[in-house]
Structure 1
């Protein structure tokens, strides 16, 4: 067998007996005192330690205690071999971490049986630990697969709405990245820290594409109308926030459990058209009563709408869009979020160029991109 047993005893006769018993079955290491035992354990990591209690300088209890304090050694089973036969002595042995306590004089069959048993138990624990690691790895892999699938479904759902208005192109991808960098800037600014945890920002990134999911319920003659909407048509258009909430609530009911992701998606879909001064829709919410997720989405959505061409308007330049959002601070938008936006407006421009549609770039930028590619 390849298993290693460390014998620790200051008495040479005892060591000779133990070596004679163990050597036919195990690789045997020997220490004559506590310090030497600790050195050998650290260097060789034996499969089991047979430890005398009564030794000079450092007794067996202290040796065992020190072994168990070291994470890399604590799994090594320790069996005490001693002439100390009082109950309190045995209790002390188990309290410092021993797995067994054998009285001297030693019975060879009992010693060999217990050594074999505890080595097998150690091997079983190690095998279970490896199996747990494999299972954890498989769970992580499966979780990652499910997350990828979830992300794909989210984009697919969002794309259903976007294909109804095919001028928006990469709009859902851009707004995802806008809200994330905006949230990260707010964290850097030290504001809204109670809400903007890393987990919240990840969920925000995933749920942002669903902000216009309600557009699937808007008739083409309204959604795609090239001219200005009538009052009645605008009323229909505004209902996309309510339609979006209904769609997502139906998803919640179908899965029958609470989802932080869907909670954020609900907030964004329903409230991203609210305005800081209370003049938005569908409820006319005002100030911080508007969910933070929706206030972030509002800035991202408006910026992207401004720089994109629509059937009813040309695209504005990045600089014009920044000025318009700055002018909307305290009216349309949360002033704190606008400050964060202004600080990183260059990042918004970079995102717009990375996930560009030709109609959101001016001629100079389009030429640059063509030449660079």
Structure 2
């Protein structure tokens, strides 16, 4: 959930007058988040929202006793209402984010479908709490708007509801309410009003004479109420009996010759908005610094990788173009894995960049192979081949030691895995540990395929370069034997890219 988008959402909600549009904005924004598959809103208290209230996409649920009273993960067998989510989500877990009337009366909940619910709750618990609370406010305000409009209809305005009768009704409700004459004097306030804003009685409130601060803003709001029959909703600052300043949303309407209003304390919401704005500015600054630092770090990593790779390159018959091609091949394969995520785990976009750099060091262990073996133009003897195979373990030792000294996982972690396992085979017949299938690290499986393709299509002292078509035919024939079947399928889909990389980074020793 992007913090900038989060702030924009609240601004969009405040601009909407219709509660239905507000609710639709919240659902639409939530479902646009990459981590969220679907979002729904349920409400337990039919009285609060009313059947004809303008509440948008809200589903009424009666079985309130089945639901928890706190943010939770509902398992796939939890009895959600039929048809609430599409059938595709029927057997999946649900994130339950409740909202309340008052302090502890459960009013409803925001329900989310996502791939990693625990991760969502851990990462975005505060944001989800704010959004669900906002939903509760919108629902209650929407209901109250409707009731106030009903009370303000001409048929009711004929002294049927006098201020005294209204006052007695107001004391039964737990929202701060007031009745005021058109000169600005309070005629009646309920007990909740006095308690919440810390006044002993209405006399003290009127004596203060400064309850509504920024009187010009408040007066303009009142004039709208006096001039129209619809409810006026506007934000204004008020002063409590103890001298504290709070920000409230005043929902007022004209009943007879009196102004009837309900106050919603939105101070915390305003503070959160201000904090979000400050956080946005801070994040922009941090992002700029992070991008600069990341760019420097990547350049440093790349330089370190190339420098290390040169150690092996100077002693081997390989060329710099070979290393560059391996990196490009790895990157091409990884992009497709990231795009389609074909495994039962996912890779991140950073993985693409990491394997691009790490692939340079797949043969770093060859620095330990004696020259008479490493540079021998003929086939190796069994004893010589035994020594040559040790380059995988030597590479692991070099890179793993450096990785441990850094004290945490780094780009060298991936490089060490590739160095150790890029000669393992999918059927378990490779070396040095005879790993098979998914026991072989994905990075090593990718590097193995890239390395073999490049070796086949390159000239060596003991062989001529194969054509691209010959190399692909060999790779396909080794599907499930030497190579991961998923990776073979991927390379078959991007073989033209492999051919172009080989041509553009050619040593002029490839087959025509």
| TM-score between the two structures when normalised by the length of structure 2 | 0.49
Partner residue of 2:297? 146
Q: Is the 8 A contact 1:172 1:209 kept in 2?
A: yes
Post-superposition offset of 1:86 = 9.1
Q: Is the 8 A contact 1:189 1:340 kept in 2?
A: no
Cα distance in structure 1, aligned partners of 2:340 and 2:481: 21
Q: Is the 8 A contact 1:161 1:216 kept in 2?
A: yes
Give 3-state SS (helix, strand or coil) of 1:80's partner: strand
1:265 corresponds to which of 415, 423, 442: 415
Indicate the larger mover: 225-234 or 148-157: 148-157
Query: Structure 1 pair 128/205, CA: closer, same or farther in 2 (3 Å)?
Result: closer
Residues 81-137 of structure 1, C-alpha deviations (whole Å, 9 max, x = no match) = 6xx8599996968973349xxxxxxxxxxxxxxxxxxxxxx9999889756633441
If asked which structure has higher relative contact order (CA below 8 Å, sep 6+), I would say: 1
Partner residue of 1:209? 360
Q: Map of 1:330-369 to 2, 5 A cutoff?
A: 330-362=480-512
Residues 149-200 of structure 1, C-alpha deviations (whole Å, 9 max, x = no match) = 1122112212221222243331111111212222333455552251433232
Cα distance in structure 2, aligned partners of 1:223 and 1:35: 92
Q: Is the 8 A contact 1:80 1:98 kept in 2?
A: no
CA RMSD, Structure 1 to Structure 2 (Å): 4.0
Q: Is the 8 A contact 1:222 1:237 kept in 2?
A: yes
Q: Is the 8 A contact 2:464 2:511 kept in 1?
A: no
Post-superposition offset of 1:328 = 1.4
Q: Is the 8 A contact 2:237 2:248 kept in 1?
A: no
Residues 349-371 of structure 1, C-alpha deviations (whole Å, 9 max, x = no match) = 01111222111253xxxxxxxxx
Partner residue of 1:311? 461
Query: Structure 1 pair 230/90, CA: closer, same or farther in 2 (3 Å)?
Result: closer
Cα distance in structure 2, aligned partners of 1:330 and 1:210: 26
The number of aligned residues is: 289
Q: Is the 8 A contact 2:422 2:445 kept in 1?
A: yes
- Structure having the higher strand fraction is 2
Partner residue of 1:279? 429
Query: Structure 1 pair 187/90, CA: closer, same or farther in 2 (3 Å)?
Result: closer
Q: Is the 8 A contact 1:276 1:286 kept in 2?
A: yes
Contiguous gaps of at least 5 residues in structure 2: 1-180, 185-209, 250-262
Give 3-state SS (helix, strand or coil) of 1:170's partner: helix
1:32 corresponds to which of 205, 220, 231: 220
Partner residue of 1:63? 234
Query: Structure 1 pair 130/11, CA: closer, same or farther in 2 (3 Å)?
Result: farther
| TM-score between the two structures when normalised by the length of structure 1 | 0.65
Q: Is the 8 A contact 2:330 2:356 kept in 1?
A: yes
Q: Is the 8 A contact 1:211 1:265 kept in 2?
A: yes
Post-superposition offset of 1:344 = 1.6
2:237 corresponds to which of 79, 102, 105: 79
Query: Structure 1 pair 87/199, CA: closer, same or farther in 2 (3 Å)?
Result: same
Query: Structure 1 pair 200/221, CA: closer, same or farther in 2 (3 Å)?
Result: same
Residues 51-105 of structure 1, C-alpha deviations (whole Å, 9 max, x = no match) = xxxx99656xx422xxxxxxxxxxxxx6336xx8599996968973349xxxxxx
Partner residue of 2:375? 224
Q: Is the 8 A contact 1:180 1:201 kept in 2?
A: yes
Cα distance in structure 1, aligned partners of 2:223 and 2:301: 57
Cα distance in structure 1, aligned partners of 2:246 and 2:274: 25
Partner residue of 2:447? 297
- Structure having the higher helix fraction is 1
Q: Is the 8 A contact 1:167 1:309 kept in 2?
A: no
Q: Map of 1:31-180 to 2, 5 A cutoff?
A: 32-33=220-221, 62-64=233-235, 79-80=237-238, 96-98=265-267, 130=281, 133-180=284-331
Cα distance in structure 2, aligned partners of 1:328 and 1:145: 41
